[in-house]
């Protein structure tokens, strides 16, 4: 029997006001009118309810403002709503911020995850049947690849940044709750996402915003670092599929089959933006500025997504060129969103990080 057919009709999505979370919430709310979707988010700098304007009045959707590190609040919430499924995305997600403030990553990503696991265990300990805890993780837990090879589900964990160490730790806790308490779980480890609503501290949206404003494009080191890019809506579809049809206790790697060296990606972005903004060819590329490297910078990430492809039938639906064009169009059409998230604290962060 598929998990979808079991009693999983009260679903908690954490971090649903963030980049990936908002696409997952929208997908679940629209796809499953008979399930109630609770979105728990503390609305940090990265959380934004504007991301969910189109579904905020849906009858099967409720937003709850709260912090996953607040034990008493989380226990009460789980007792009140008795969630049958949890899709956990809430996290501190930016590697550069983890380098300057590792403790907040331990608190949210490790302690916050354990709080959710405990609360889920405490309501279902006698009957986990038909329940599921789905943990959204990252390919960064596997560390760095050399020039060749791919991360598979059995690649050893080897995290290099405080961010990836905190995500690796949370993955281990999820697995340990499965082994020790019989909690049904699924973990997915995904490569770099891009798309609408991405906070402009990450490479693609930061550079789109800087190109619009004709500001320097700060490429770390020599720019020869490689990432595997996936359109965010394809990630949301994969999470939906693995949450509903994945096997308990399994990990699924999710990736775009789409490796790019940073500098090649930035060149492509510059030329697409020149066209969209009717600027002379090569104008945006002049903004490229090589800056000090990120400490502990992982050379290359690349995912082997054949397990989720073969077992669950998932594959990306858009090419990188299509996805990037949709993304650029979204940012150019949502200048107000961009202006709102880049005012205030963002300016302070930017100066600290880049000057």
Three-state secondary structure call for residue 170: helix
Beta carbons within 10 angstroms of residue 283's beta carbon: 15
Q: Which residue of the set 92, 140, 153, 298 is catalytic?
A: 140
**139 belongs to the catalytic site:** yes
| Residues in contact with 338: Cβ distance below 8 Å, sequence separation at least 6, in sequence order | 200, 209, 212, 331
- Is 336 tagged catalytic? no
Q: Which of 69/262 has CB closer to ligand NAD?
A: 69
Residues 184-243 that bind ligand DAU (CB under 6 A): 191-192, 202-203, 206, 218-220, 225, 227
**Residue 32 designated active-site:** no
Angle value at C-alpha 264, between 334 and 348, nearest 5 degrees: 50
Show the CA angle centred on residue 284, arms to residues 263 and 220, nearest 5°.
Answer: 35
DSSP E strand boundaries for the chain? 10-14, 36-41, 61-65, 85-88, 132-138, 185-190, 192-194, 217-220, 226-231, 250-254, 259-261, 288-291
Site track 12-51 with ligand DAU (rule: CB under 6 A), x = hit: ----------------------------------------
Nearest CB to ligand NAD, comparing residues 47 and 196: 47
Position 115 contacts ligand DAU (CB under 6 A): no
Catalytic residue among 139, 228, 234, 240: 139
Q: With respect to ligand NAD, which residue has the nearer C-beta, 211 or 239?
A: 239
Q: Give the nearest distance from C-beta 247 to ligand NAD in angstroms.
A: 20
Q: Could you tell me if 276 and 332 are in contact, meaning their C-beta atoms sit under 8 angstroms apart?
A: yes
Residue nearest to ligand DAU (CB): 138
Q: Decide which of ligand NAD, ligand DAU, none touches 95; Cβ closer than 5 to 8 Å per partner kind.
A: ligand DAU
Orientation angle between helical segments 320-333 and 203-212, nearest 10 degrees: 50
Residue numbers annotated as active site: 139-140, 163
Q: For binding to ligand DAU (CB under 6 A), which residues are involved?
A: 93-95, 138-140, 191-192, 202-203, 206, 218-220, 225, 227, 262, 294, 301
């Amino acid at each position: 029997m598929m998990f979808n057919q079991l009693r999983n009709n009260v679903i908690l999505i954490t971090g649903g006001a963030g980049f990936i979370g908002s696409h997952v919430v929208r997908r679940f709310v629209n796809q499953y009118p008979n399930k109630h979707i609770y979105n728990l988010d503390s609305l940090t700098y990265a959380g934004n309810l504007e991301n969910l304007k189109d579904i905020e009045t849906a009858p099967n959707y409720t937003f709850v403002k709260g912090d996953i590190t607040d034990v008493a609040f989380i226990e009460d919430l789980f007792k009140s709503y008795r969630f049958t499924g949890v899709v956990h995305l809430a996290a501190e997600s930016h590697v550069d911020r983890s380098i300057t403030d590792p403790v907040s990553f331990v608190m949210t990503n490790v302690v916050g995850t354990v709080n959710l696991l405990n609360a889920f265990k405490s309501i279902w300990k006698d009957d986990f049947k038909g329940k599921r805890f789905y943990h959204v993780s990252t390919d960064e837990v596997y560390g760095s690849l050399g020039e060749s090879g791919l991360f598979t589900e059995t690649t050893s964990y080897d995290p290099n940044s405080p961010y990836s160490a905190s995500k690796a730790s949370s993955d281990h806790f999820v697995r340990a709750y499965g082994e020790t308490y019989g909690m049904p779980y699924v973990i997915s480890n995904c490569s770099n996402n891009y798309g609408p609503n991405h906070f402009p501290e990450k490479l693609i949206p930061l550079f789109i915003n800087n190109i619009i404003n004709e500001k320097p494009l700060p490429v770390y080191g020599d720019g020869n670092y490689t990432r595997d890019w996936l359109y965010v809506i394809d990630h949301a579809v994969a999470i939906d599929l693995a949450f509903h049809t994945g096997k308990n206790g399994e990990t699924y790697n999710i990736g775009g089959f789409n490796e790019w060296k940073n500098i090649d990606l930035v060149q492509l972005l510059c030329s697409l933006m020149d066209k969209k903004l009717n600027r002379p060819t090569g104008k945006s590329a002049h903004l490229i500025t090589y800056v000090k490297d990120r400490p502990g910078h992982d050379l290359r990430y690349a995912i082997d997504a054949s397990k989720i492809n073969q077992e669950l039938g998932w594959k990306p639906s858009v090419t990188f060129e299509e996805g990037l064009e949709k993304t650029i169009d979204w940012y150019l059409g949502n200048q107000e969103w961009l202006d709102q998230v880049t005012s205030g604290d963002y300016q302070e962060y930017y100066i600290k990080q880049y000057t």
